[in-house]
Each structure stands twice: as structure tokens, then as C-alpha cells.
Amino acid sequence: MPAQEVTTAQASPAYRPSRAGQAAAFARRFARTKPLATIGAVIAVGLGLAAIFAPFISPYDPVALHYTDRLVAPNLTYFWGTDHLGRDVMSRVIFGTRVSLYVGILAVTLGQTGGGIIGILSGYFGGKLDVAVQRVMDALMAFPTLILGLMLVAALGPSIENIILAIAIVQTPRTARVARAATIAVRGLAFVDAARAIGADDWRIVFRHVLPQTLAPFIVIASIELPHAILVEASLSFLGLGIPPPAPSWGSMLAGEGGQFVTQAPWLAIFPGVAISLTVFAFNMLGDGLRDVLDPRLRS
């Protein structure tokens, strides 16, 4: 009987796209399913670039005085007009982006880090520690955000470092609550029990197994709290407890020249107000989109 020739087809290896290809595919899918979040992301990137390259794209020095050009309406020389001291409004708004994002990002980073650590430890260990920590968080959350920020800045003094610290303290309780809830949901799962069974100590379980499971809520909270931090900074500057002059800040521009000359030169209030509104809109839309993508309960 003749031997039958057996041919073995070598299957070609499955195609795996590169990380760049996966990121591009995710970006296309995100843009198709979340158009408002995509618009927010584009605006947020534009604001970041404006903050980074502010010295190169600003037509004038934001604190330079041009006494002969005071309260000039928008024209081809000063695209967004000038204020009562002859300072270019467009340059001040662009440099105000740097101040607002700097304060917002640092405050959110500090608040997320501190609140996350407090919430994770409180939720994991429980007991009397959990009760004591939550009572302190309840006391902080009992104060309205702006009132607590005013109290802290008034006690510490108006400076950019104190404003960042005050906003971070204001944001800590909300982050701690979310981190605690996520930790309580994770600490009873099977992989945590398995890690404990093989001899892993509590700190290794917390930082190696529990913390990675709570990163998604942190990303969502950070994207939502960033515009809130910018609003608090603008409100403090509006009330005279924000960034000290002559540094440009959107809130101080609204409260200072924008409020004094609102009828004579309305552009002094319009442009910083639009900048604040646009920033809050962008990060809120981006945060909503990230929440829908990262939260498995909200995925379609």
C-alpha cells in the first residue's frame, strides 16, 4: 500500500497590532462613540499646548504696560483689546492658561494621592481606623467647597503654593470616599484571599493587588475634579485671595479690570470668562467619556 503523503499546513501566526496601532484603533473608536468627549480632549490638548508654548504664541508680554493704549477695543494690533493699564488681554489670557492648569493639575495630583492613600488604607483595614478617618472626612465634606477653600487660604495667606494646598485639601475627602468604596469591593475577592493564603503581608496586598484595581476610578475622578479645581482657583482670585498680581489669572482678570470696566470695555470680562467656560466644558466632557469607557457598568 503506497504511503500517503501527509502535508502539514503551517498556520501563520495571528496578527497582533503594535501598541501604536492599538492606541490608534482605540482613539478612532473613542472618537466615533464619544464625540463630545473627543471635542473635550482636543480642547484640553490645545489648552495644554497653549500653556507650554505661551511665551512663543503670546503677541506681547502679559505684564508689559502700554499707557498710550489703555482700554483699546479689539483691533488688528491688539486682537482682544487692552485693559486699563494698556496690557494685552490676549497675552494675559494665554498666560492665565498656564497658571490655571498649573494650579489645577498640581492640586488634583496632591488631592488624588492623599485622598487615595487615605481611602485605600481606611477601606482595607477597616475597624476603628475606618471609623475615625470617615468622621474626619465627613467633617471636611460638611463645609461647602468654596467656603473651606476661603478659610484655608485666609489662614495660610494668598500665594500660589497655598492655593494649591487648599484646593488639594478640599478635594481629598471626595477622593477618599471613592477609594474606600473601591477598596471594600476588591478586598473580599478571591485573588486577595489567595495572596493572603500564600503569605503576602497587608502592605504588599494593598500596593500590589488592591491599588491597581482602583486606578480606573482615580483617572475618572481626576478628569472631573480638574475643572472643579480651576473654578475654585478662579473664584478665589475673583474674591481677591487668589494669585497675587501682576501675574495673570482668569479669576483676577474677571474680578479686577473685568468688573471695574465691564460697561466701558466688556471684552475685559468676555475673554477670560469664555476661557474658564471652555476649559470647564472640555474637561467635564472628557471626564464623562472616560467614565463611560473605564467603568464596566456603563460600557455598552
What is the spatial distance between Cα 180 and Cα 85, in angstroms, rounded to a whole number? 51
* pLDDT, tens digit (0-9, with 9 covering 90-100), for 221-275: 777 788 788 778 877 877 777 777 777 888 778 777 766 777 888 888 888 888 8
For residues 73 and 126, the model is more confident at 73
Q: How confident is the model at residue 147 (pLDDT cuts 50, 70, 90)?
A: confident
What is the spatial distance between Cα 254 and Cα 235, in angstroms, rounded to a whole number? 10
Q: List CB contacts of 44: < 8 A, sequence separation 6 or more.
A: 282, 283, 286
Short-list 47, 187, 144, CA closest to 104: 47
* pLDDT, tens digit (0-9, with 9 covering 90-100), for 20-75: 777 677 777 777 888 888 888 889 889 889 989 988 998 888 888 888 888 888 88
Residue 80, pLDDT above cutoff 70: yes
What is the spatial distance between Cα 87 and Cα 63, in angstroms, rounded to a whole number? 6
Quote the mean pLDDT of the chain: 80
* pLDDT, tens digit (0-9, with 9 covering 90-100), for 199-222: 777 788 777 878 777 777 777 777
* Range scoring the smallest mean pLDDT among 87-96, 116-125, 205-214: 205-214
Percent of the chain with pLDDT over 70: 89
Q: How confident is the model at residue 1 (pLDDT cuts 50, 70, 90)?
A: very low
pLDDT for res 94: 92
Q: How confident is the model at residue 126 (pLDDT cuts 50, 70, 90)?
A: confident
Residue 12, pLDDT above cutoff 50: no
Q: Most confidently modeled of 8-12, 60-64, 155-159, 185-189?
A: 60-64
Contact 8, 243 (CB under 8 A): no
CATH class assigned to 33-60+86-294: mainly alpha
**Distance separating the N- and C-terminal Cα atoms of the chain:** 60
pLDDT for res 17: 63
pLDDT for res 283: 83
pLDDT for res 258: 66
What is the spatial distance between Cα 118 and Cα 126, in angstroms, rounded to a whole number? 11
Prior bond of 246 cis (ω within 30°): yes
